């Protein structure tokens, strides 16, 4: 379709004065630099570049179709077996001597066992030691027939809990964890452990 566009321009007359003149210019096409971009066609399939789409209209049509429709989310989001936050220890915990904590009014003269000796050629693995005393003292914990493994300094009427981060496995099978105090005074020791080869 041919567009008719009125155009104004000026000219000078013989006296040098400017006069406004009107005229009509026939335009057969909009200049490419100013024309709205209606090039291309709408898409027919929502893929990139979707089949049937070209140019800016194709891309805009593809974007609109994608946003207008449901966007599928794929992947594995659910495990058949859900992990628990804390399944507890993976071993059978044993306590003290036959399930009883160790107590003594004076254990300064010699070392005493605070756990039952493992059987079947197994070794004791210490997971926790809870110790308290009514007297300010130190308590040496050792492997039976071996050297001191660790020492705990206790205030009067105080206590402590030792939970080794990597656990404490005794080096010799069937040996027990022992305790000896630096002076007379009541002491209570609760040792938790398990056994393994």
Domains of the chain, by residue range, sit at 3-63, 94-196
Length of the chain: 197
Q: Give the pair of three-digit tokens for residue 38.
A: 């209606």
Provide the terminal-to-terminal Cα distance of the chain, rounded to the nearest Å. 96
The pLDDT tens digits for 7-50 are 554 555 555 555 555 555 555 555 555 555 566 666 666 555 66
Whether the pTM exceeds 0.75: the reply is no
The pLDDT tens digits for 11-21 are 555 555 555 55
Q: What confidence score (pLDDT) does residue 171 get? A: 96
- 187: pLDDT strictly greater than 60: yes
- What's the per-residue H, E or C state across 34-61? CCCCCCCCCCCCCCCCCCCCCHHHHHHH
- Are 33 and 55 in contact, with CB atoms under 8 Å apart? no
- Are 130 and 141 in contact, with CB atoms under 8 Å apart? no
Q: Give the pair of three-digit tokens for residue 139.
A: 């308590």
Work out the pLDDT band at 161, boundaries 50, 70, 90. Answer: very high
Q: Give the pair of three-digit tokens for residue 175.
A: 């040996």
- CA separation for the pair 162, 24 (Å, rounded): 101
Q: Where are the alpha helices (DSSP H) in 104-176?
A: none
Q: 94-95 and 187-196: which strand pairing?
A: antiparallel
- What's the per-residue H, E or C state across 66-114? HHHCCCCCCCCCCCCCCCCCCCCCCCCCEECECCECEEECCCCCCCEEC
Tokens 């379709």 belong to 1
- CA separation for the pair 65, 31 (Å, rounded): 31
Report, at the CATH architecture level, how domain 94-196 is classified: Sandwich (2.60)
Tokens 């300064």 belong to 108
Pick the residue with more confidence: 172 or 45?
172
């Amino acid at each position: 379709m041919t567009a008719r566009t009125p155009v104004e321009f000026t000219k000078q007359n013989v006296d040098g004065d400017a006069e406004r003149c009107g005229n009509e210019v026939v335009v057969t096409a909009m200049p490419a630099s100013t024309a709205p971009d209606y090039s291309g066609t709408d898409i027919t399939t929502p893929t990139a570049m979707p089949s049937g789409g070209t140019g800016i209209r194709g891309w805009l049509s593809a974007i609109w179709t994608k946003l207008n429709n449901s966007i599928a989310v794929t992947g594995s989001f659910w495990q058949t077996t859900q992990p628990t936050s804390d399944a507890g220890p993976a071993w059978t915990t044993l306590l003290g001597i036959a399930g009883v904590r160790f107590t003594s009014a004076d254990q300064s003269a010699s070392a005493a066992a605070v756990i039952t000796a493992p059987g079947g050629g197994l070794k004791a693995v210490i997971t926790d030691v809870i110790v308290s005393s009514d007297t300010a003292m130190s308590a040496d914990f050792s492997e039976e027939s071996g050297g001191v493994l660790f020492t705990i300094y206790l205030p009067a009427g105080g206590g402590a809990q030792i939970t080794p981060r990597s656990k404490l496995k005794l080096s010799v099978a069937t040996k027990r964890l022992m305790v000896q105090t630096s002076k007379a005074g009541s002491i209570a020791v609760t040792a938790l452990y398990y056994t393994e080869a």
